[in-house]
């Protein structure tokens, strides 16, 4: 039940980074643009891009729990990892600044883009504005190992350091999206709308895993969540999401279990590799921008929304209510300017 889920979440310390639940809005103009193609599907979006700190985005939900634990441990420095244009790194830098902590970012060059926009603009520019110390790792370096080595150096200097890996997608971090599941359930109860499917991007798996864990802990249907992998190949994304969802649920309710079949991941939109633009992503970004005036990012939400549009047009959701979780990442558009030139 929802009350049980909220009670279990309250057992964990959180550093407030959100101003209450993010809004759920109807995509009425998009529905009109799709017309008969959508088969009468009612399309909704949860605006997790509308968060106050650091330009917003889904990682702030995870960081509420991670920064909360770091502060409870008396840490003064927050270290995390990611790619050069990591949304998580940017939001970590902002959240650490808000919490009065130093932040260091171990960033790997994982996408074969070498233009100046990608290498110096977007999230990277904001990392520095937020005051983070950015370490650009050499090719082949292991980011987590580099983070641990830097943490050891800082501890020798008398600092207390908190280290978290890619995307903040630890079991504790995933509880941020268990809290989001509670928001969705509460909204459904008051609006008398129940979503048949809840669609999310899947990078480091924490968003999908947390939603599934939250729904399961609330005695709801975890199989309502569908993610599109944009980072790992499908078999790896499935395995990682199953493991993380079960670990997150264990923090909430060790007696409950999630069946493997309840974790549903689609691999159709990943494209050539992580961070490599696809034609479907470019079209999806333009479609939402030109119908609703809303911006998707090119790495995560753009690819997942391409899958969302494909399913909507296939009649898969005819006369049903479907929710897309808009995870933010708009600064990434400025790093991918060359991909959109002439589009």
- What pLDDT score does 1 carry? 81
Q: What percent of the chain has pLDDT over 90?
A: 95
Answer left, alpha or beta for residue 30, where phi above 0 means left and psi between -120 and 50 means alpha: alpha
Q: What is the pLDDT of residue 166?
A: 87
Rounded to two decimals, the pTM is 0.96
Average pLDDT of the chain is 96
Q: What confidence tier does 26 reach under pLDDT thresholds 50, 70, 90?
A: very high
Q: What is the mean pLDDT of residues 54-72?
A: 97
Average pLDDT over residues 105-116: 93
Angle at 247 between CA 243 and CA 251, to 5 degrees: 165
Among 10, 86, 170, 205, the active-site one is 86
Question: What is the length of the chain?
Answer: 343
Per-residue 3-state assignment (H helix, E strand, C coil) for the chain: CHHHHHHHHCCCCCCCCCCCCCCEEECHHHHHHHHHHHCCCEEEEEECCCCCHHHCCCHHHHHHHHHHHHHHCCCCEEEEEEECCCHHHHHHHHHHHHHCCEEEEEEECCCCCCCHHHHHCHHHHHHHHCCCEEEECCCCCCHHHHHHHHHHHHHHCCCCEEEECHHHCCHHHHHHHHHHHHHHHHHHHHHCCCCCEEEEEECCCHHHHHHHHHHHHCCCCHHHEEEEECCCCHHHHHHHHHHHHHHHHHHHCCCCCCCHHHCEEECCCCCCCCCCCCHHHHHHHHHHHHHHCCCCCCCCHHHHHHHHHHHHHCCCCCCCEEEEEECCCCCHHHHCHHHHCCC
Active site (annotated) includes residue 86: yes
Mean pLDDT of the 103-128 span: 95
Give the rounded percent of residues in the chain with a pLDDT score beyond 70.
Answer: 99
Contact in structure between 97 and 261 (CB atoms under 8 Å): no
Domains and CATH numbers, the chain: 2-56+170-340 (3.40.50.1100), 59-168 (3.40.50.1100)
Selection from 67, 70, 66, 60 nearest residue 20 by Cα: 60
pLDDT tens column, 222-255: 999 999 999 999 999 999 999 999 999 999 999 9
Quick one: pLDDT at residue 140?
A: 83
* pLDDT for residue 343 is more than 80: no
pLDDT at 341: 84
Query: Interior CA angle at 307 toward 301 and 309, to 5°?
Result: 100
Model confidence over 132-186: pLDDT tens digits? 999 999 888 899 999 999 999 999 999 999 999 988 999 999 999 999 999 999 9
Q: Evaluate if residue 342 carries a pLDDT over 80.
A: no
Answer whether residue 28 shows pLDDT above 90.
Answer: yes
């Amino acid at each position: 039940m929802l009350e049980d889920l909220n009670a279990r979440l309250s057992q964990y310390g959180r550093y407030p980074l959100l101003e209450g639940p993010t809004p759920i809005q109807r995509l009425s103009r998009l529905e009109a643009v799709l017309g008969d193609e959508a088969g009468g599907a009612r399309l909704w979006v949860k605006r997790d891009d509308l968060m106050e700190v650091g330009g917003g985005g889904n990682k702030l939900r995870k960081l509420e729990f991670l920064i909360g634990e770091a502060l409870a441990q008396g840490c003064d420095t927050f270290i995390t990892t990611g790619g050069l244009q990591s949304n998580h790194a940017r939001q970590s830098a902002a959240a650490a600044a808000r919490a009065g902590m130093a932040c260091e970012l171990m960033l790997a060059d994982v996408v074969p883009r070498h233009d100046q926009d990608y290498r110096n603009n977007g999230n990277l520019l904001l990392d520095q504005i937020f005051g983070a110390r950015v370490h650009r790792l050499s090719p082949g370096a292991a980011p987590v190992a580099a983070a641990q080595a830097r943490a050891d150096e800082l501890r020798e200097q008398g600092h207390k350091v908190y280290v978290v890996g890619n995307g903040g997608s630890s079991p504790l971090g995933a509880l941020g999206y268990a809290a989001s599941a509670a928001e969705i359930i509460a909204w459904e109860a008051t609006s008398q709308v129940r979503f048949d499917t809840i669609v999310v991007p899947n990078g480091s798996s924490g968003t999908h895993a947390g939603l599934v864990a939250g729904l399961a802990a609330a005695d709801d249907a975890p199989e309502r969540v569908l993610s599109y992998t944009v980072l790992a190949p499908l078999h790896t994304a499935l395995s990682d999401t199953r493991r993380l969802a079960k670990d997150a649920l264990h923090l909430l309710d060790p007696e409950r279990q999630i069946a493997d079949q309840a974790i549903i991941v689609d691999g159709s939109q990943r494209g050539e590799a992580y961070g490599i633009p696809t034609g479907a992503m470019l079209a999806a970004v333009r479609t939402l921008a030109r119908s609703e005036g809303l911006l998707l990012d090119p790495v995560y939400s753009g690819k997942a929304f391409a899958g969302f549009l494909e399913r909507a047009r296939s009649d898969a959701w005819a006369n049903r209510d479907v929710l897309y979780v808009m995870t933010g990442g708009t600064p990434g558009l400025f790093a991918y300017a060359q991909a959109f030139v002439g589009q």
